[in-house]
Structures are given as structure tokens and as C-alpha cells.
Structure 1
Amino acid sequence: MQVYKFGGASVKDAEGVKNLAHVLKTTGYDNLVVVISAMGKTTNALEIVIKNYFDNKAELQSAIHDVIKYHNEILLELFNNEQHVVFNAVKKLFDELSLFFKHNKSPDYNFVYDQIIGYGELISTTIVSHYLNDIGISNTWLDIRDFIKTDNYYRRGNVDWEQTQDLISSNFNTTRLNITQGFLGSDANNFTTTLGREGSDYTAAILAYCLNAKDVTIWKDVPGVLNADPRYFENAQLLNQISYREAIELAFYGASVIHPKTLQPLQRKEIPLLVKSFLNPSNSGTTVGKGKLIEPEVPCFIVKKNQTLISLSSLDFSYIVEENISEIFNLLHLYKMKVDVIQNSAISFSVCIDNLYNNLDKLLQHLKAKFKVTSYDNVSLYTIRHYNDEAIDNLEKGKTVLLKQLTPHTIQIVTT
């Protein structure tokens, strides 16, 4: 059994869907599960739909129409006959989306987010499945929510591994080509949950673990895992091979090619992860597995934008001790802040966070009751693995450094 994952960039238009079929014909598709993300920027477009539902209902239908129009254009390029059953199948999904808005009673943004955002994946896989069947690549469309069960931590669901393993082992037909969604699961009440943004890689890893797959291939618009994101860094190099440990480190610090949770289930069963280009499917790409730490041995650069740096000090110049640190961490957990860097001294404590749930103002108000608080918005967090002096100098050039932290293999720098 093998697992493939195709991201949104690979199916952003009709040509992308046709290329996905080309990849399957090139590599073979026996005993294969294909996990597919929402098409192009559909997730972003659905986030606008959700925002309008809460904040600007006058624009809600217009935002939904934009998503419908985008997918209809792809449908019309892929299918010559507008009477094809796929048009009705996609319409039915959009009708479900609209029906949810009419009947929803919950004011919980995170719950509503998860019920709506997954329609991107449901629609994309419906289109791809029908297209593949039409051109002779027989497949079965599966609703991943019937297989991956989570708790009700909406927008960042935690997998119930025992139940998920049982459902996949009992109900998955591994002799077929299966097409399914990334990113999604369901809770005990069968409400949709999501695994976090970019969670489709994690979906592929969950399936691979539960199916004892031979390997997982993530198909990207880059040659493989690069030592830097080419959108932000010049002269990015292909890494031919990296170890599970190194990949987990890179993912932890925010490397965008691999989802932070993806490697853990694969490493437990030593299932190799391949990262390859859907534009050049015959190229070798990058292999993540046991073996050499990193090849070639070059510095690896990661950047996280739109972070917040919070610096705390005691009001009376007393020490920041264990009791204070414990309280700070409890507040970070309470307000669902993702912590990326921590630094403390005798009388100060700094933390760089990702304000995913928009609770920053509440957190700062709470902290100001006991500490002197300074915050810096929209900062950038740079991480260099296997750094050298030249890499640090080039990174810091022209920037204001607010925080710097070094370990033997990693340096993290927060800049404005």
C-alpha cells in the first residue's frame, strides 16, 4: 500500500487535475490512497465566507458565489457535458454549505469554521474522482470523516488513534485506488473537525500508519525539501535526504514543506516519506527516513511571519521564578497561544507567539495585572538549523534584532 498527497497548488485548475492523472499514469496507481487538499486558494476563500457570516452578512452570498464560480470554471474545462453527474454532486455540496448557514445556532467561531472549511476538500476530491473515472482510472471516493476520529478541539483536532485504527482496518478496501480528503476528521457527534492548517500531510501519515503503508509521497510544486523557502530566501538548495529527527526539527520550527505532526506516526513504523515534484514525477526528490542526518550538509533557513513578541518583567524588580513562569504558561495555554521561542533572565521573560485564535488582547490584559508588559506585533521569527557565521550575518543584515537565542545546532532570531 502507498499513500500519495496532492496539495492545493497541484489541483488549482483543470490543467492541474489533468496533471494529477498524468502523475498516476506515470507512477502507477495499484494499492494506492490519494489524499487531496482544497483546490488552489479555496481554503482562504472559505475563510472569507466564514468571516462574512459573522461580520458582514450582506457580503456572504457574494463570497459563496465566488467559490462556486471558481469550481464551476474548472468543471466546465474538465467535463464536456453539463449534464454530467459531477455537476449535481458539486451543487449538492454547495447546497449543504448554504443550508448550514441557514440553520446554524452556534456562535462558536471555531465550531463554525470546521463545519464550513472542509467543503473545499470535499468538492476537490469529488471533482478529481469523477474525472479519473471518466478517463478510465477507476477509483473509489471516500469521506475521510468516516475514518479519522478526533476530539472536539475544533481547528486543531486530536486524533483518537485507537478508534481511527479500527475504522481504517475494518473498512478500507486496499485493493482499490481510493480518493479522499486531507485535513478533516469528525468528533463523537459526527461534527466535522480539522487537524490544523496544512493538515493534509498529517492525514496522509495517519492513513499510512494505520494501513502499514510502504511509503508516503507528498507531491509539491518544488523539487523536494529545500534548505529554505524560495519565496523568502535566494539560492535555495534541494536536500536529497534528511533523517526523521532532522525533519521533525525543521517541522517544529515551521518549515512549510512538512506539517509538524506528519513525521511522528511515520517514524514510529519507519515508513519513508518522499517529497517530490508533481511537475517532474520521475525525479527522485527528497527522502525522509532513517540514515544520514542531512545531505548535503548546509544551513537550513525557516521564517515565520506575523508573530508577536511579548516581553515581561516584574513590577517590583523581583526575580521571575518558577511560580511566575508556571502562571505565564497557564495563561498561554488558556488563551491557546502557540509558543515558538522562550527566553528568560533573572527579572525578565520573553516569548514569541502565534496568535492563531485572536486572543492576544485578552492575554495582554491578564498579564498586565502582574507584570510590566511590552509587546511587538508583526515581527518575524527566523530559525537557522546548522548555522554558521556567514548565514547569521547575511540574515541579520538590515534588520533590527529584538531577540536572539542559540543552541549548538539552531539559532532563532526575532526581528522587526
Structure 2
Amino acid sequence: MQVLKFGGTSVASAENIEKVIAIVTRALAHGPVVLVVSALGGTTDALISAGRAAASGDESFRQALRQLEARHFTAAEQLLPSFEAQAEIQPWLTAQFTELVLLADGIFALGELSPRTLDRLMSYGELLSSRLVVAALQARGVAAAWADSRQLIRTNSRFSMALLEEVATEQLVADFQAKTTENLWVAPGFIAADAEGHTTTLGRGGSDYTAAILAAALGAEKLEIWTDVSGMLTADPRLVRSARPIARISYEEAMELSHFGAKVLYAPTVQPVRQRGIPMWIKNTFAPQDYGTLVEVAPPPSIGVVRGLSSIGNLALLNLEGSGMVGVPGFSARLFAALARARINVVLITQSSSEHSICVGVNEGDVPAAQAVVDEEFAAEIAADRLEPLRPETGLAIVALVGDMMRNHPGISGRLFSALGHNGVNIRAIAQGASERNISTVIRAADVRKAINVLHEEFFEATYKQVNLFILGPGNVGGKLLSQLAQQQEYLRDKLALDLRVVAIANSRHCLVSDEGGLDLTTWPEALDKAPALSLPELTQLIIDKNLRNSVFVDVTANPAAADQYAPLLAKSVAVVACNKVAASAAYASYRQLKQLARDFNTKYLFETNVGAGLPVIGTLADLTRSGDVVRRMQAVLSGTLNFVFNNYDGTRPFAEVVAQAQAEGYTEPDPRLDLNGSDVARKILILAREAGQQLEMSDVANESFLPASCLEGDVAAFYKELAVHEPHFRALYDAAASQGKRLKFVAQYADGQASVGLQQIAPGHDLYELRGKDNVVLFYTDRYPEQPLVVKGAGAGAEVTASGVFADIIRAARL
């Protein structure tokens, strides 16, 4: 005997029912079949809605029932092409809908919908669908008997979620089997009856349970659950695009996953077949060739330690706290008894070892009743201030790891907590059974998608780690960065297992956002020009609302307002990569706050390019200090622009012409005064001093400008005119150095807690003397390098090298 169950989507239309008939016909070639069917997809919800409308006095229920009637008659006409077959089923359908309308009229007249009446109302969905399937089979020459589940399955009278009476059910099934000659029975799922013959239901999703009950009672060789997905998956495919089928799974694992929200299987289904050791297949009606999932006693070990992930939404935590609990026997029993009286199901339990608090998880809809019944139970303790009133927290969900292989396997919880923590997912409660088969965490419902994807990546996707980038400032440097990202995407997947996706690109006028899969990095300029505007706070809120795992905000601007967005992003565990120097050189308190936020929320705040473009200056300094070295002195040329200018100015060409060349070749800011006035270099040495452990402000950095004051007035055009006017000044600076065989360098210095920047004459033999082109150099004098400094040297200006430095920071953030 085989038991096959088909869900609502499998029988949602005549076309789908044809697929069911084809599958059942093939199964009959291997032996007798019991076919269990759900209502036509959406029918049960429509019946519930109609019943509630009738109870509330809303006459729209009549139209809803007429639509259901029309749908079933249409299905009958499509399934039964012959007039004779239609003539047999149509009177029966008419009679059923007449009864249904009379029932709904009674609900309307009374203005009441009791659980018993609702069960009877809902039963029509499966009664109608099962008789349609029988008629369709018979019309195709397949002998089939209709088996009324109300005559086969006996339950108690707990309407809407009736409990099985196993012994009575087995006798009823045996009696029906003894008097039935057909090799195919068709039974409605979901419904049963109590001892008085009143219709009961087995809970939403109960058609699976019906099939399992019949399989157990018949000692079937197998149970097949046919649905619209190819078996159980490692995660909900609506949340995780890369979820994959689980080929084989144990009963216990399947029960855990189905209890914690795996929609493909109704949780109570597992128990009846597990008791009899009946294998259960979960298959896809629309892809019957797919292997599906085999649920069995002892499946082969899974490749990883975790078999699957699941979640439950609409959860609330009920927290009961107070000193009156400590050491008091029976306290927990009173709590659970109070909830049981209100028929409130407890999903999760956790209690502190101090016994000062106990926390239980329940459905959000049960919170008002739970609060009332618990506060009533402990009214005396609350009045005496030995307990606090029950404190509910809503808007929560459970995410669970499930797998038999987790047992006695150290480190699983650590990986779970670490992965969630790195992505800013706060865990509100934890529960783990002694079997170690399930680790459940309570988190914000808004974080479920992110959490499930993070954990799926951690435990199932050894191939790629997805990193989501939000890039602000696709100008000169930002444009090069995007080109480098496009060029390296395949390499990063193959060599570093990183899948870098650019989710948004924004400038001061537009913000281009990807819906799925990341932006096309070959066509973004045209698409950005057509994108809507978005303010910086709106961009920040977009990043927070998207709540994507492994998010990185990349600021490739010099905008102070952009720096204001770092704190709220870091507080949401969004990593920040900043080419923008404003934040790291702002007030010391602000700088420390950002560093502290990154630590507190387990994320990264990286700004390597603030000092040396693509050079590893800050990283080298961090390595020195982390390893216990102490930086005593730093001497540096930190402006590729100024180094280029003074390396190319020799008195044969005007100083203004050399500056114009630097600007034309992309080595300066749009306003060259930002480079030449020394403030940019001052910011850089300030950042280095802070990274070395000094609490300095910008006002503490001495800036000895070589520019005449008039050069800093007016606009850029006026600046160049003033440079020309003061050519003798610049020539005198050059000649004074050249006459001694020295070269001019704009040098940043730090020593003994003091920092300064200014033009210096550098003698031959000094490490700064031979610095060519636009190169930068930093000399670190430390306890380990007291005489001969540690030198970091290389190109310190240009869009390509700066973009590569930003790119390197992105990789560091991604590999957290």
C-alpha cells in the first residue's frame, strides 16, 4: 500500500489535477494507492473569510460563495468533458453548495462563528476537491473509491486542532479496508470527526497529517507528500536564493525543521510514520522527475554538520522577572499551567541560572490573553513587589539550526553567534535541547532575511561570501574603483571566494539602486543619469532598511555631510570604507566615537587612503602598535601633488605652470589650493598621530604655509594669477635650496606628541631627497627602528592608486 498526498497548489486547477492523475496512475502500477487531497488552492482561506464576514453581518459572503461555486463547476467541466460525467457530478456539487449557503446563512443570522461551526464550514473544501478527483479518475477509466475521512479518522472534540484517537482510527481504517475492493481510495485531507460524528479538523496543513495517519494505520510501504517544491530545502527559498534540496533527512530533523517553519511539511505529519518506520518522500507535482527528499530512520551523514535552517515569525517573548522566583519550587509549573488554561502554545523556553527570570516564546496573537492570565496567576506576588508584571516583547522571530551531526560537534554555536554578530543581528534569547539537534535563536523579525542568508552562507556555501557595496561618489576615484571592481569580480570569486555586489551608486544628484543581484558595472553611468535623487540621510536609511548581510558603505567623496552618516551606519554593523578624510580628522571625540562604534558593533571602519592613497601606511602603523612597538617619531611626504610640483619646479618654468600641469594630470583637487595650502597634509599627519595613540586636534598641528596670503583669496582663476604675480617668491625658495645642493619637500612631522607640516630643504643622503614624481614616503622611527626607520614609499596620488587603496579596504572589510 502506498499513500500519496497532494497539496492545494497541486489541485488548484483542472490542469494541475491532470498532473496528479498521471502521477497516481503510474503509482498504481506498483500496487494499491490511497490518495489524499487538499482543497483547491485558496479555497480554505476563502471559506474562513466568508464565515467571518457572515458572522460580522457582512453580506459579501454570498458573493464569495458564488465565486467558489463557479470555480468548482468550471473545474468539473474541464476535467469531465463528457455530458454523462458532468451530469453525475453537477447535482452533487449543487447540493453541497446549497448546504454551504444554508450554513453561512445560519452564521449570518446568529452573528457567531464557533470553532465547531468553522470546522464544518472549512470541511467543504476537501470534500469538494476529493469528489472532483474521484469523478475525473473514473472518467478516465481508473477505478476509484471515495473514502470519507470523517468515517476513517476519530479525534477528540477540540475543534480547529483536534487530537487523534489512534486505536479507534486504526479500527475504522481496518473496517473500511476489509469491505473495499478498489485498489485506489481517494480521501479528503484535513478533516475528521469526533465520537458524536461532529466534523473536526486537524489544523492548517492537516492534509499531510491525514496522509500520515492513514499510512500508519495501513502499515503502508511508503508515504509520498506531493507539493510545489522539490523536497525540503536547506532554507526557505523565498528568503535564500541559493537554498538547495536536502536529498535525505532523518525523521527527527524533518520534525525540527517543520516545527520551526519549513512550510513544505506540516510538523505533526512526521510522528505517525516515524513510529512505524515508514519512509516518507517529499516530491514536486510539477517536476516529478526530481529526486525530492527522503525522510527515513537513518539517512547517510550530511556533508556539513547542519542539515537545514528554518524560522518562525510573529513571535513574542514573555518575560517574567523578580526575586520572588528564586528558589521557589513549582513556580515554572504555575506559569505553564496558566498559559495552558488559556490554550496558549509555548514555542520556546529559556531561564537564567539565577532563577531570577524566565522567558517563554509564544505567538504574537496570544500576547493579550497571556498577559491577562499570567498577571492573574501571580497577582499576589506582583502586589507584594516580589515579581514584576509580565513584560511582553513583540516583533520577534526564531531562527533555528537543525542537524543530527551537530551533536557533540564543538564550535557550532560559536560560528552561529559570530556570523550573526558580524552582521549586527542581535540575539534576544537562545534555546538548545539536550539532543543538540536544534539551536534556536530569537531575533528581530526585521532581521530574519539577513540572518537566514548569513547562516546559510556560513554553513552551506563554502563557495562564495556575498558582500553588498553602497558606493557614494562615482567621480574620478570612484569611477576607477567601479572599473576595478568590474575587472576583478571573477578573480575574487575564484581566488578569495568573495562575491562583491554593488547594490547602490550615488552622487550629489542621483542614486542608482539594484533590486536583485547587484548593478551592472558596465552600464552604470547611463543608468545613474536617469536615476532619482536621494539625500545622504535617505541613502543611509536605504542601507539600513535593506538590511543586507555583509554591507559596506564606501565614501569616495570629500563631503563633510557624508562623514556624518558613518555613526548611524556603524551602529547598524554596516562597515564603512572612507576615502573621505573629514571624519578621521574631525574633533578627536568624534574620531574616537567612530572607532568605538566599530568595536562595539563588531564591524570595520577603514580609511587607509586618508593618508597614502594606495600605500599601506595606516596598516603598517597598526601592525607596529599591535605588536607592542612604540612610534617615537614620523617624518613624511604625504602629498603626491606637492611632491610632483616641487620635483618639477626648477625655475625654468613658472611655478603656476607646474601647478597647472599637476592639475591637468589629475594630481590635485579641483581647487589646487586645498593641496598647496598644507591643510590636506596637516589632516594626514593628524590621522597618523591619532592612530599612533595621540589625542591631537587639528588646531594642534602647526602649518607653516609657503603660499603668500593673497594666493588663498578669490577663486581658482584668481589663484593662478596670484601665483604668477609671486613667481619671484617661489623662485627665491627654489634658489635658496638649490644653492646648498638641497631639494624642496613639503614635509609632515610628528615627534614627542607634536605635529607640524611645512616646506623644508632636504639634503642629499636623506630618505626624502630622492623622492621622485608624485611618490609619497613615510619614515617610522620606533623602539624597534630607532636609527634606521621603517620606510613605506610609493605613488601617493592619482585616481588609479587611490581607487586601489579603497579596493583593498573593501577586501579587508569583506573578510571580517
Same fold, TM-score > 0.5, yes or no: yes
Residues 409 and 3 of structure 1: CA distance in aligned 2, closer, same or farther (over 3 Å): closer
Q: CA deviation at 1:90?
A: 1.7
Determine the structure 1 residue equivalent to 2:41: 40
Residues 402 and 210 of structure 1: CA distance in aligned 2, closer, same or farther (over 3 Å): same
More displaced, 121-130 or 243-252?
243-252
Alignment partner of 1:91 is 2:94: yes
The Cα offsets for residues 257-292 of structure 1, whole Å up to 9 and x where unpaired, read as 222222222122211111111122233322111223
Q: Equivalences for 1:263-282 in 2 at 5 Å?
A: 263-282=270-289
More displaced, 184-193 or 257-266?
257-266
- The one-letter code sitting in structure 2 at the alignment partner of 1:48 is S
Alignment partner of 1:171 is 2:187: no
More displaced, 144-153 or 403-412?
403-412
The Cα offsets for residues 321-369 of structure 1, whole Å up to 9 and x where unpaired, read as 44321111011111111211111122211111126xx553232123233
Determine the structure 2 residue equivalent to 1:68: 69
Residues 86 and 310 of structure 1: CA distance in aligned 2, closer, same or farther (over 3 Å): same
SS at structure 1 position matched to 2:389: strand
Determine the structure 2 residue equivalent to 1:8: 8
Separation in structure 1 between the aligned mates of residue 214 and residue 111 of structure 2, nearest angstrom = 31
SS at structure 2 position matched to 1:118: helix
Contact 2:325 2:331 in 1 (8 A): no
Determine the structure 2 residue equivalent to 1:307: 315
SS at structure 1 position matched to 2:162: coil
**TM-score when normalising by structure 1:** 0.91
Q: CA deviation at 1:86?
A: 1.8
Q: How many positions carry a matched residue from both structures? A: 413
Alignment partner of 1:193 is 2:200: yes
Residues 98 and 291 of structure 1: CA distance in aligned 2, closer, same or farther (over 3 Å): same
**TM-score when normalising by structure 2:** 0.48
Separation in structure 1 between the aligned mates of residue 395 and residue 60 of structure 2, nearest angstrom = 28
SS at structure 2 position matched to 1:261: helix
Determine the structure 2 residue equivalent to 1:132: 137
The Cα offsets for residues 199-238 of structure 1, whole Å up to 9 and x where unpaired, read as 1111111111111111111112111121212122231121
Separation in structure 2 between the aligned mates of residue 217 and residue 8 of structure 1, nearest angstrom = 15
Alignment partner of 1:235 is 2:252: no
SS at structure 1 position matched to 2:268: coil
Q: Equivalences for 1:97-136 in 2 at 5 Å?
A: 97-103=100-106, 107=112, 109-136=114-141
SS at structure 2 position matched to 1:99: helix
Alignment partner of 1:383 is 2:424: no
Residues 348 and 320 of structure 1: CA distance in aligned 2, closer, same or farther (over 3 Å): farther
Determine the structure 2 residue equivalent to 1:53: 54
Determine the structure 2 residue equivalent to 1:330: 337
Determine the structure 1 residue equivalent to 2:439: 411
SS at structure 2 position matched to 1:229: coil
SS at structure 2 position matched to 1:353: strand
- The one-letter code sitting in structure 2 at the alignment partner of 1:354 is N
* RMSD over aligned Cα atoms: 2.4
- The one-letter code sitting in structure 2 at the alignment partner of 1:149 is R
SS at structure 2 position matched to 1:338: coil
Residues 3 and 409 of structure 1: CA distance in aligned 2, closer, same or farther (over 3 Å): closer
Residues 339 and 294 of structure 1: CA distance in aligned 2, closer, same or farther (over 3 Å): farther
Contact 1:226 1:237 in 2 (8 A): yes
The Cα offsets for residues 70-119 of structure 1, whole Å up to 9 and x where unpaired, read as 32332333234675322222222111222223446795621122111111
Separation in structure 2 between the aligned mates of residue 50 and residue 14 of structure 1, nearest angstrom = 26
SS at structure 2 position matched to 1:163: helix
SS at structure 2 position matched to 1:45: helix
Structure with the higher helix share, 1 or 2: 2
SS at structure 1 position matched to 2:72: helix
Q: CA deviation at 1:250?
A: 2.5
Separation in structure 2 between the aligned mates of residue 124 and residue 280 of structure 1, nearest angstrom = 22
Alignment partner of 1:402 is 2:428: yes
Separation in structure 2 between the aligned mates of residue 205 and residue 321 of structure 1, nearest angstrom = 43
Contact 2:227 2:282 in 1 (8 A): yes
Contact 2:400 2:440 in 1 (8 A): yes
Q: CA deviation at 1:394?
A: 5.3
Larger Rg: 2
Contact 1:310 1:350 in 2 (8 A): yes
The Cα offsets for residues 136-192 of structure 1, whole Å up to 9 and x where unpaired, read as 222111111011011101111111111111111011226421111111110111110
Determine the structure 2 residue equivalent to 1:27: 27
Q: Equivalences for 1:144-293 in 2 at 5 Å?
A: 144-172=149-177, 173=180, 175-292=182-299
More displaced, 228-237 or 21-30?
21-30
Task: Quote the sequence identity (%).
Answer: 28
Residues 349 and 385 of structure 1: CA distance in aligned 2, closer, same or farther (over 3 Å): same
Separation in structure 1 between the aligned mates of residue 61 and residue 98 of structure 2, nearest angstrom = 14
List structure 1 segments (4+ residues) > 6 angstroms apart after TM superposition.
Answer: none
Gaps of 5+ in 1: none
More displaced, 339-348 or 405-414?
405-414
